[in-house]
Every structure is written in C-alpha cells, then in structure tokens.
A and B are shown apart, each in its own frame.
Chain A
C-alpha cells in the first residue's frame, strides 16, 4: 500500500501508471473498441481492400490503412492484447523456472548449487537475441517459436536473485525452527522461505514486461515473429519499411504507417520504465531522501 501511495505521489510515476491503466483498458475493451467480424479470428487484422499502397487516415479508418490495406487502428487495439499476452506468458514462465531452480540451489547448497549455478552461467553467457534467432531459424518463424526461447534464455537473473535472497534468510530462526520440528523441505521452501524472498523478484519480473514486448515486436519486425496480418505491433511497423521514404517530392506521404505503431510502442515501454524507475528508488533505501 505504501508503495502504491508513493507511486501516486510522484508525478512522473503517476504518468506512467495512467499510461499503463490506459493500455490495460484498451486490451480488455478490445472487442468493443474494435469489434471483429462475426466468426473471424479477432487477432487477424481485417483488410479493407487489396491495394498494396497505404491509404491515409480518413473518417472511416481514423489511423489509416497500412501496406496491403490492413487497418492500423484495429491492429493496434488488438496488438495491445497480444502485447500483454506475450509479456505475461514470458514473465510467468521465466519467474517460475527462476524461482524453482534458484530456491533448490540456495536451499540445498553444496554440489547441487555449484552445478545449477554453472548451468546458469552457461545460459547467461549468450546474447539472447541471437539465441532466439537461432531457434527461429531452426523451427521456423511464429509467435510461439519466439516465446519459447525468450523463456528459456531469460530465467537466469531471477534464479540468481531468488538464490541470493534465500541464502540471506535460510539461517533465520523461523526457518531453523520449522526444520527442527520436522517440516518437509518442500513445505519449508514454499511456506516459510519463498513468501519472504519472492517479492522483489516478482516486482523485477513484472517490470520486464515492457522490454519483452519490445523484443518480441522487434523480432516480428524482422519477420521472425508473428505472421503477416496478425495483430502485433512490430509486425505492423514492418509494413511501414517499404513506404517510410514516401515518394519524390513528398517524403512524409506515408507518415501514419510509422508514427502510429511507433508511438504506441514507445508509450507502452515508457509506461513500464517510468513505473520501474520509481520502484527502483522506492526499493533502494540508500536513495531515500
């Protein structure tokens, strides 16, 4: 509660919160904001024609139509859902793997700890974007084939963090007491240790949603993520690549194909970063003025 109060007090983080609430609203209200056609897959952006050249914004299509007459407004609205879906899935599984491995490693210690941590080091010493690209090259493009390697190559910081936290509280009296009266290892970890070690990790993890969404969008932009026509921000921006230099004498003719999807992504990341930044200050006792 204290944290939320301080988030609301700071004008910068308040702005971030407002932005984030707006995006959550758009994601939840997508079926009403941009109703899909009866029976059609709502994540497929409807095409309003078959011409390749983008159409500028009009009253009917407020944000215009991008390459291939895909509706930009529709794509952005449903893309918000895709963004949250991808972000939450990746974060959940990363945190889960990290927490499981980290707590086993810290709780049992010794050789197991050494092996698990070297294993973590191996995973950490790899630029993960490259890892994702390898995975996609082998299994083919697609949203799932981006999400899986992002999970597999992203759990390490959480494992390390939870390990550090647990090492610090492992010798606390209440843990020793629980062990002394014969509580099982599993119960000690889940009931006594994790509730006291997990909070910073969860915060850290959720603050990553912004950057994960952007990574996935970046891969879609390269043509390695979502297939053409799927409501995904990065994919929408990749449509703009052929048109961003406009035509002779009118360079900015197709500005709307770049500006709207680009702005959406910038605001989304900005929201997460503003909140994350405020969190860092709140959590760090040294910076407290």
Chain B
C-alpha cells in the first residue's frame, strides 16, 4: 500500500514532466511576442515596445534546455507568465477564478452522487420493470443532451421565459456588496462566504445564479452514475451472499442497504474520479454559456484571443489537480475494498 502510494507520487512528477516538455515544445513554435508573454509575468509583455530589450532583459535568447529549466523553475514559484486577455499575471487570474469553478464543481458533484446512486438502486431493484425501463430511457436521453445545447435551452427557458436563473455569478447589487471591505472573503465561494457573513440575501442571489450551470454541468453525470450503480448493483444482487441474506429471512430493505449496496458502491468510486475529469472539461463550455466567471470561461476567452500563456497556465494547473485527485481516488478505492491490493 505504502509502496504503491510512493510509486504513484513518483509518477506525478513524470506526468508533469511529460506535459511541460510537450507544452514547451509547442510554445517554441510560436511568434516572439507570444513567447515573451509566456515567460515574462509583467505588463511589459503587453506593450509591444522593445522586443530586443525584453529578450535581453529576460534572457530569452538562451539555448532551449536552459530556457526550459528556467521556465520550470518559474512554474515552481507560481510564475506562469502574463495573460493578455485578462490583463494580469496568469497566476493571479487563476487565483481569482478558481474559487468560482470550485464552487460550481462542488455543487455539481454532491447531487450527482446522491441522485445518481438512488436512481441506480431503484432501477436495479426493479430490474426489467417499467420503472427500470423508464429510468433507463431517462438516463440515455440525459446522456444524449450535449452540454451547450442543454445550457442554451436552460438559459432560454430558465432565464428568458421564467426569469429564475440569471446568467453570471452575482447580480450587480450583490457584486457591489461583495467587494465592500465589510464583506469578508473566506473562501472566495460566494454562497459559503455569504453564509459565513450572515448575508442571506447575497446567499440567495449567488444560489440563483449557480443553479442553472450546475444542472447543465451535472446532467450527463447523473445518467452516468445511474448506469454504473445499476449495473454494479445488478451484479451484486446475483451474488451468493445476497441470496444467503435473503434465505435467512432478512427484510428486503436490509438486504439491499446493508449487504448489496455497500459492495455495489465500489465501482462507483472510480466513476467519481472520472467525473472530476469530465467536469473540468465541462466547465469550459458551461461557464461560457452562462457567462460564469470561472476557470472555464477564462480558458475559452483566452483561447479565442490566442492568449497562449493563460491557456497553458490553466492546463498545467488542471494537470496537477487531476493527478492528485486520481491518486486520491485510487487510495480511497483500496480503503473501501480490502480485496483490492495496490501494488
């Protein structure tokens, strides 16, 4: 177990090494100004003043290996270059936007796990009933809604027709409140901060803004979670120990909750890992549709304006999070299921 964790931890720098080399190679094919912005975290990169002087000042004419090592060193110090589309350093931009995306992701993950599992269990228990068929069709339809189509539909109906779910992250009055000195920012997640500050009105406003993107983002994963729970539950329900439990006269709810579900949930943990991966991709589109200022919107805006340093910075940031989360899921897996030996 411990040796497995250590091996995975050693693998982490390898992954990051691979990704950085790849990105560095790609960036080297770019024009001089984009390259300057990638390596120089200051507004100088934006004022196209004196290329020669900049190259001299930041030693950008060094041989590639030296450049790569210096860039890597910079990355370790959180120095990711200058973002021309958001007029600040990439590290600052990510710092500003990350809490918004984290908030969105957290709001998306919990309902998925709860609703998905419940529906999956219901579907499996009623195997081949009308209930099973209808949840199944429901799942396939949910699964087939592309996030940007669904997002536009939710926006059109939820905001356009009903006026319930406005786009953005806060209404303008709430935004003015939030930037006041009296409003203390604990986490950067507005719903949490509003509660901690005891401002229910701001909480309500933030909630209204976040619901539509959360629904859009997580729809697909409800379906996925449902399917995985259903098939793993079906698998478990056919096992001998479940038959034994029934044979010794246990009540059906006890059999399902205590004997079957616990084992059926094991594959579900892997889905949770995949889900995070999927959500990270999903936020790019969903945040853009709802104009929700998180990392996803940052990425798509930066990409359409060809702001390479920003996109690269976000990608590296994601890569680190992802490797760590994958590791956590694997370890969790072995904790839940003692049969899994990590070697």
Contact = CB atoms under 8 A, between A and B. Distances in A.
B235 A133 contact: no
A222 B144 contact: no
A214 interface: yes
Interface stretch (A47-55, A86-94, A123-131, A170-178): A123-131
Contacts of A214: 146
A179 interface: no
A interface: dominant SS: helix
B303 A133 contact: yes
B172 interface: no
A245 B159 contact: yes
A133 B278 CA distance: 15
A222 B288 contact: yes
Contacts of A125: 15, 319, 322-323, 326
Contact of B26 (A12, A130, A134): A134
Interface residues of B, number: 59
A62 to B, nearest CB: 21
Interface in A63-89: none
Interface stretch (B88-96, B109-117, B147-155, B190-198): B147-155
Contact of A130 (B141, B281, B306): B281
A221 B284 CA distance: 11
Interface in A237-252: 237, 240-241, 244-246, 251-252
Question: A interface, how many residues as a size bin?
Answer: 35 or more
A252 B156 contact: yes
A235 B156 CA distance: 18
B29 interface: yes
A180 interface: no
Contacts of B311: 133-134, 137-138
A5 interface: no
Given A133-B284, A134-B315, A287-B234, A252 B160 contact: yes
22 contacts: A122-B14, A125-B15, A125-B319, A126-B315, A127-B280, A129-B282, A133-B315, A134-B26, A135-B26, A137-B307, A138-B27, A138-B29, A218-B146, A221-B148, A224-B303, A241-B152, A246-B160, A252-B160, A266-B145, A269-B144, A277-B140, A286-B238
